[in-house]
Amino acid sequence: MLNRQELQDAFLSHFGQPAALTVHAPGRVNLIGEHTDYNGGFVFPAAINFGTWIAACKRSDNQVVAVAMDINGNENSFNLDDIQFDHNQSWANYVRGVVKMLQQAYPDINGMSLMITGNVPQGAGLSSSASFEIALLRAFSDAYGLSLTGVEAALLGQKAENDFVGCSCGIMDQLVSALGGEDQAMLLDCEALTYRHTTLPDDLAIVIINSNVKRGLVDSEYNIRREQCEEAAGVLQVTSLRHATLEQLEQHKPELKNTVYQRAHHVITENARTLAMFDALEAGDIAKVSQVMAESHVSMRDDFEITVPQIDFLVEQIAQVVGDKGGVRMTGGGFGGCVVALIPKKLVEKVSDTVNNFYHSHTGLTAAIYVCSAERGAFA
């Protein structure tokens, strides 16, 4: 990972002129609130100190020229008058998609030279794509003096990913990358797009443990879960499970397939847990945080059925060390990926030792451990 000066030096070397600006957008981790976003519910992410950096300069022509430093300095260029999907360089479609959506909102933008680097671990579910999109939007906004707000940027990034890149995603990733708070987590209402921040305790670290289980089933299973949630909402006669209660769910249980009932049970209870965790952190009640994070993991394992044995093992091992002084659960879409834990800083080394000593011997895999802080979003 390059520092800012190295990035600017690389820009100068490649483009023959200095960068006019350098921007950064963070990745994110979701502390609680899994598979609630596309059900119009609540999520509780934090922007983290891994992200995307872009050095940029306006061009006088209609060309966008982007260089991906982390992919062997691959260069991709296109004309603003003809933005097409690139089947050869998949990373470039994020640039193309973002610029296309931005152009629809701000037709007067012109070309840009972009030098891009980042350090969000790939495939770990920490949202490298949203970080990339928001950094691009910040670069264009700064270069062209656009009146782009954080919410507008998030919606444009989501639209680029959904409609151009072709990946279905909720709004959480882009919004927290744009508007996350330093040392804070964000309670986001995915239906209303309103949010509140709460400060994370000074003595707790955000620790992300990548199981390195490849998330092979996540796309197809994600779509199945989404359909099951929509089926449940239809039977319960609500627009989304956000508006369903446990009482309604129990009342309609005879009409629901067992798996559909379980999926709805997870979403309804997960929304309640997400609100409870926000309140617990506001009150400094870490034992409650520990409880709701543990309950969230059990619900993902048993009701939503998206964990894997390696992830369950990590959660069990970390919970034994942390007890009620912090919390731990799987984070992300499931079927592999990462565990997130809020851990007292004095126990981080012990947790790391526990993972390093037992995970490989139990699973044959080596976990990657990232100690993170909560950072400010690109538009905050």
Query: Residue 362 and residue 259: Cα distance in Å, rounded?
Result: 30
Tokens of 161: 């990913």
Q: 173 an active-site residue?
A: yes
Of 70, 142, 173, 312, the active-site residue reads 173
Rounded Cα gap, residues 357 and 225, in angstroms: 35
Q: Which residues contact residue 380 at a Cβ distance below 8 angstroms, ignoring those fewer than 6 apart?
A: 150, 178, 179, 180, 181
Q: What is the 3-state secondary structure (H, E, C) of the chain?
A: CCCHHHHHHHHHHHHCCCCCEEEEEEEEEECCCCCCHHHCCEECEEEEEEEEEEEEEECCCCEEEEEECCCCCEEEEEECCECCCCCCCCCHHHHHHHHHHHHHHCCCCCCEEEEEEECCCCCCCCCHHHHHHHHHHHHHHHHHCCCCCHHHHHHHHHHHHHHHHCCCCCCHHHHHHHHCCCCEEEEEECCCCEEEEEECCCCEEEEEEECCCCCCCHHHHHHHHHHHHHHHHHHHCCCCHHHCCHHHHHHCHHHCCHHHHHHHHHHHHHHHHHHHHHHHHHHCCHHHHHHHHHHHHHHHHHCCCCCCHHHHHHHHHHHHHHHHHCEEEEECCCCCCEEEEEEEHHHHHHHHHHHHHHHHHHHCCCCEEEEECECCCCCC
Catalytic residue positions, numbered: 173
